Amino acid sequence: MKKILVVFGGRSVEHDVSIITAINSVIKPLRLTKKYQVEPLYITKEGKWFWDESLSNIETYSSGKIANLTKKLKPADISFNDGLIISNGKSFNSKKVKIDIVFPALHGTYGEDGDLMGLLEMAGVAYVGCGVLASAVAMDKVISKQLAIANKIPITNFLFYQDKDYKANSSKIINEINTNLNWPLFVKPAHLGSSIGITRVKNNEELETAIELAFHYDSLVLVEEEVSNLIEVTLPIIGNEVPEPAYLERPTLQKTDFFDFEAKYLRGGKKGSKNGQASSSYSQVPAVLPKKLYKQAEELGVKIYKSFGLTGIARVDMLIDSKVGKVYFNEINPLPGSLYSHNFQKFGLSNVELVEKLLFFAMERFEQKNKINSSFATNYLKQF
Ligand SMILES: Nc1ncnc2c1ncn2[C@@H]1O[C@H](COP(=O)(O)OP(=O)(O)O)[C@@H](O)[C@H]1O
Ligand SMILES: [Mg+2]
């Protein structure tokens, strides 16, 4: 029986969303198969790691029991010397499990951004989803846009600034923005998600306030032109070398809600499918678009998946100017909330099939990497 470690929670603003992704969309379907030994590894907001069966129960969190539990439990011991081994203590009778595949279910910083993946690469263990570089690139809006440009993927015009440069000469920067970009503009921190710190601005006064707000969250900030006549779409994709897109999906939140974390998660969760993922009333699956435009967006999504070296699963967000019929790349989510299983389900892939496919892709990539010979003998040390 393959042993799967599901890692979730974490030091990110999306901590709570991650718990739902892990329990509802990963642990439950994996256990339904009765084919795997599924182990929950929960990381607290402070960054402590715990391993205990009760952590796979949603009630532990919804009832608030988690606070006492993490005081009582001993943090997990993780060793990397012979693959990845997890244990709950150092005594002879402590429980120990050697993990075959890690299933990261973390969103945002310290998890979705490549940090955890680096640790898993060092441990030499297979894991689900995107690798270190693809994850890190996807979580950086500036690098993402630069990589898009290199691959001739359309993006809106943008400029970006370091905190210290802006502080040193803000009027020059405001001038530069006015000369080079067309209003209205979007100001964004380079690394956060969930619309935190993002503002749409129409004049210099709003621009300055928005830049200051964004610098509150990140030392790198970008300013970009708005896509007018906007239709937003997102395309969840799975696969390694051969990307398999699900349906193009169109979120149908009110425009005024775009920056609203609550709108994205809480309302969708309560009204909708109870598991925190975008409910059908908050999105249209598949997106109703002219056939040609649908195909154009789908093809661009797949091109982005390939160009960015995404593997396992990711969701590509695009912005469409519906009047001109042009599709722009917006951003990539290397680990979409709840795996976007509602979309895959509609597409014909059950949640169980989805997680099993993801395990398959994880093993496929792991085995491919292991085939590449990375050691060779030299006489280098003999000379010393
Ligand atoms: N250039 C743009 N033109 C029009 N709308 C935009 C643009 N950039 C962002 N938005 C709106 O703001 C939302 C959040 O921006 P996004 O870059 O996706 O940040 P996040 O990482 O927080 O999701 C988008 O979903 C979209 O509604
Ligand atoms: Mg977004």
Q: Residue 112's domain is classified under what CATH number?
A: 3.40.50.20
Establish if 133 belongs to a structural domain: no
Q: Where are the alpha helices (DSSP H) in 58-192?
A: 58-62, 66-72, 115-123, 132-138, 141-150, 163-168, 170-180
DSSP 334: S
Residue 269 confidence (pLDDT): 44
Judge if pTM exceeds 0.85.
yes
Q: Which atom of ligand 1 is nearest to the CA of 195?
A: 22
Establish if 293 belongs to a structural domain: yes
Residuewise pLDDT in 10s, the chain (384 residues): 999 999 999 988 889 999 999 999 999 999 999 999 999 999 999 999 999 999 999 999 999 999 999 999 999 999 998 889 999 876 666 789 999 999 999 987 777 788 899 999 999 999 999 999 999 999 899 999 999 999 999 999 999 999 999 999 999 999 999 999 999 999 999 987 667 789 999 999 999 999 999 999 999 999 999 999 999 999 999 999 999 999 999 998 655 545 455 555 555 444 334 444 444 568 999 999 999 999 999 999 999 999 999 999 999 999 999 999 999 999 999 999 999 999 999 999 999 999 999 999 999 999 999 888 677 788 889 999
| Ligand 1 site-directed mutation target among 319, 327, 333, most atoms within 8 Å of CB | 319
**Which residue range is the domain that position 96 belongs to?**
2-127
| Ligand 1 site-directed mutation target among 143, 183, 195, most atoms within 8 Å of CB | 195
Structure tokens belonging to residue 114: 């490549």
Calculate how far, in angstroms, residue 319's C-alpha sits from the geometric centre of ligand 1.
Answer: 8
The vertex-309 CA angle with 161 and 343, nearest 5°, equals 95
Establish if 270 belongs to a structural domain: no
Calculate how far, in angstroms, residue 230's C-alpha sits from the geometric centre of ligand 1.
Answer: 10
- Looking at the structure of the chain, the number of domains it has is 3
The answer on 118 and 34 residing in a single domain is yes
The answer on 290 and 218 residing in a single domain is no
Calculate how far, in angstroms, residue 48's C-alpha sits from the geometric centre of ligand 1.
Answer: 32
Calculate how far, in angstroms, residue 227's C-alpha sits from the geometric centre of ligand 1.
Answer: 9
DSSP 23: I
Calculate how far, in angstroms, residue 230's C-alpha sits from the geometric centre of ligand 2.
Answer: 14
Structure tokens belonging to residue 5: 């470690």
Residue 271 confidence (pLDDT): 38
Calculate how far, in angstroms, residue 344's C-alpha sits from the geometric centre of ligand 2.
Answer: 19
Calculate how far, in angstroms, residue 330's C-alpha sits from the geometric centre of ligand 1.
Answer: 7
The answer on 349 and 309 residing in a single domain is yes
The answer to whether 53 touches 40, Cβ cutoff 8 Å, is yes
Long-range contacts formed by 349-353: CB under 8 A, 24+ apart: 349/246, 350/29, 351/25, 351/28, 351/29, 352/29, 352/30, 352/32, 352/33
The answer on 304 and 200 residing in a single domain is no
d(CA 193, CA 195): 5
Dihedral of alpha carbons 276, 279, 283, 288, sign: positive
The answer on 109 and 45 residing in a single domain is yes
The answer on 351 and 236 residing in a single domain is yes
CATH number at residue 302: 3.30.470.20
Establish if 45 belongs to a structural domain: yes
Pocket (CB within 6 angstroms of ligand 1): 156, 186, 188, 193-195, 198, 224, 226-227, 230, 232, 258, 317, 319, 330-331
The answer on 37 and 118 residing in a single domain is yes
Establish if 262 belongs to a structural domain: no
Establish if 137 belongs to a structural domain: no
Residue 272 confidence (pLDDT): 39
The answer on 82 and 168 residing in a single domain is no
Residue 254 confidence (pLDDT): 56
The answer on 116 and 83 residing in a single domain is yes
Kindly report the protein residue whose alpha carbon is nearest to atom 6 of ligand 1.
226
The answer on 217 and 236 residing in a single domain is no
For helices 291-307 and 141-150, give the axis angle rounded to 10 degrees. 100
Burial (Cβ within 10 Å: 0-12, 13-18, ≥19) of residue 286: middle
CATH number at residue 198: 3.30.1490.20
Establish if 345 belongs to a structural domain: yes
The answer to whether 286 touches 297, Cβ cutoff 8 Å, is no
Q: Which H/E stretch holds residue 225?
A: strand 220-225
The answer on 119 and 204 residing in a single domain is no
The answer on 109 and 76 residing in a single domain is yes
| Ligand 1 site-directed mutation target among 330, 332, 333, 335, most atoms within 8 Å of CB | 330
Establish if 169 belongs to a structural domain: yes
Kindly report the protein residue whose alpha carbon is nearest to atom 2 of ligand 1.
226
